Chain A
């Protein structure tokens, strides 16, 4: 069975600093990978997705992620965070038409 592991439950970072949120998945077959953001009491918003092609994927709000097949990772990065980036971030994998989510990472951006 597929699984997704987000290695950090909380990531505190100062405003304008770079950040990386780590995600590893387990699957022996091709997968589609996603990062979603969730603000308090709201649904999920898609940040970016990897379906095929270039392993470096750029998304909204200045985020990007790199698909690394050999390491089965899909880490999310942003070179300079803002206070407004404070939220919950979920990595997800799909290869059967269903999404399997990681446990989430809380990004706390401090002034």
Chain B
């Protein structure tokens, strides 16, 4: 089946630093990738949608200068949290679709803790 990986699985960083999270589709080409954020005991909230080679589309209320998304290839998208603050601590999950398929394949998530 379609497998999506994320790296790292967890990361701790100091306030004011930046951290990059990678999302890879291992056995298929991901035309579209999505980034979600999930707070404890809450649902997933879509942050942005990215298509390979083009700028990401951010959801309302998501700061694009803070959450930089790069979809440089059909198998890799990165999310960089710039100048992280404790309120950015969350579980970040990516997903990917192949071609025109509606099914999204989810990565295992990355736990970010900002101290």
Contact = CB atoms under 8 A, between A and B. Distances in A.
Given A32-B102, A98-B49, A104-B42, A41 B109 contact: yes
A42 B43 contact: no
A90 interface: yes
A98 B46 contact: yes
Contacts, number: 48
Nearest to B1: A46
A32 B106 CA distance: 17
Interface in A79-101: 90, 94, 97-101
Interface string A39-82: 00111111001010000000000000000000000000000000
Given A32-B102, A49-B103, A41 B44 contact: no
- Label chain B's interface by main secondary structure: strand
A41 B92 CA distance: 11
Nearest to B100: A97
Given A51-B102, A94-B102, A99-B104, A44 B42 contact: no
A104 B45 CA distance: 12
A43 B43 contact: no
Contacts of B91: 41
Nearest to B93: A43
B75 interface: no
Contacts of B93: 43-44
A12 B104 CA distance: 29
Given A49-B103, A51-B102, A94-B102, A42 B46 contact: no
B25 interface: no
Contacts of B95: 44, 99
A25 to B, nearest CB: 14
A82 B10 CA distance: 30
19 contacts: A32-B102, A41-B91, A43-B4, A43-B93, A43-B107, A43-B109, A44-B93, A46-B105, A51-B102, A90-B43, A94-B102, A97-B32, A98-B46, A99-B46, A100-B46, A101-B43, A101-B44, A102-B43, A103-B43
